[in-house]
Amino acid sequence: MRRTWLLFSQAVTVAVAVLFVIATLKPDWLERGRPTGLPSGISITAVQPVSRSSGTALNAPSTYSAAAKRATPAVVSITASKAPPRNPHATDPWFQFFFGERGRQLQQQETQIGLGSGVIVSPEGYLLTNNHVIDGADEIEVLLTDGRRASAKLVGSDPETDVAVLKISLDKLPVITFGSIENLEVGDVVLAIGNPFGVGQTVTSGIVSALGRNQLGINTFENFIQTDAAINPGNSGGALVDANGNLLGINTAIYSRTGGSLGIGFAIPVSTAQQVMEGLIRDGHVTRGWIGVEPRDLTPEIAETFNLPVKEGVLITGVLQGGPASAGGMRPGDVVVKVADVPVTNTSQLLAAVAALKPATPATIGIQRGDQTMQLSVTIAQRPKNPLLRNR
């Protein structure tokens, strides 16, 4: 009996040792045949994340260096110089006699210099930047990443979108590729490229935080891309690109209480910038439609006060006498709900819809007048340059 027990103990010891070795060196052997809790014939496999566009596994790249290398050569630094206003008494000897050294100091004020960024968009040397970067400048100099410098000519500017077009005369220019705004979504990775604070070209990364931002009071026509990619003073006019290095927008403004980035930046969509650029190059100005009204957003309180059957639209508080809207029969108190079959729910949408119409052509504008729904035919005019008129 004792011999039998000894043999059994040795066998158990050997079996435990074998299991320990297998568990250490070949653990997958022990997994075979283990019950899964599922009916036979059914197995569990890992689910691969799928890209919304390609249908392939979505693996975020660990670097965006390829996008940066593709886009950065086309992003330039811009120095805009503005001479100080000349004192009308600069050559008056009596002025110099009475004011002496103080008079000479007033006459020798330093030249004002502004720094910004720009994007080369064509081999012919056309650049996109912000109007506020070059506004009022007497001289504009462009610095490329390869060290070349060139004086830039102002082709034209559009203060209402804050877009300006410059032109330089250099050979073998790097050109950025335009991206697609239609496929852009909130959460997409973007890079901001520019020259913040004049420290030199800088690339920052983030995502698209929002699309179609308007009513911010920055420009007349607003349809901004919002991003948390760091944008700082000096980045204005620079590029916002996608993860492939394609141009999505022109960086133009930030929300900040300190002057630096707080993670809320805005870029003009490349579609808007391209449309403005084409108009400036072709005609020297941007042609937009205009009807001559004073609009205001329709609030639920106003709709309830006037007992209106519509809750969304644009209330017309004033109509320019003799203007297109007046000639078409529009009155103060009307609520515009459609422009050429395009629904409008706020003032920004109304301005954009009217601006997109071709001047000297009729357009149907749907309005709500009290309890009546009406269609007015209005002949669109060209938006005037007079600031007292163009906001109406």
Q: SS3 for 178?
A: strand
Q: With bands split at pLDDT 50, 70 and 90, how would you rate the model's confidence at 13? A: confident
Distances (CA, A) of 53 to 58, 67, 185, 287, 364: 10, 19, 12, 36, 38
Give the pLDDT band (50/70/90) at residue 36: very low
Can you give the pTM of this predicted structure? 0.72
The DSSP line for 204-254 is EEEEEEEEEE--SSS-SS--EEEE-S---TT-TT-EEEETTS-EEEEEEEE
The architecture of the domain spanning 289-390 is: Roll (2.30)
- Work out the average pLDDT over 205-226: 88
Asked if 188 and 162 count as a contact pair (C-beta separation under 8 A), the reply is: no
Mean pLDDT in residue range 49-59: 47
Average pLDDT of the residues in 108-133: 85
Residue found under tokens 């141009």:
247
Mean pLDDT for all residues in the chain: 82
Share of the chain above pLDDT 70, in %: 74
Q: Are 231 and 259 in contact (CB under 8 A)?
A: no
* Average pLDDT, integer, range 158-172: 94
Q: Per-residue confidence at 266, pLDDT binned at 50, 70, 90?
A: very high
Catalytic positions:
132, 162, 236
pLDDT of residue 46: 39
Helix (H) or strand (E) run with residue 117 in it: strand 112-120
**Quick one: average pLDDT of 252-281?**
86
Mean pLDDT of 243-250: 94
Same fold across 189-283 and 289-390: no
What is 69-167's CATH number? 2.40.10.10
CA 259 → CA 93, 140, 340, 389, distances in Å?
Answer: 44, 24, 42, 33
- Higher-confidence position of 338 and 60: 338
Could you state, in order of their start, the residue ranges of all structural domains in the chain? 69-167, 189-283, 289-390
Q: What is the pLDDT of residues 274-326, one digit of tens each?
A: 999 999 999 888 889 999 999 998 888 888 888 888 888 999 999 999 999 99
> Does residue 370 register a pLDDT over 80?
yes
Instruction: Say which CATH topology domain 189-283 has.
Output: Thrombin, subunit H (2.40.10)
When comparing pLDDT for 84 and 65, which is higher?
Answer: 65
Amino acid at 188: D
How far is CA 381 from each of CA 205, 246, 333, 354, 357, rounded to the nearest angstrom?
43, 36, 22, 10, 9
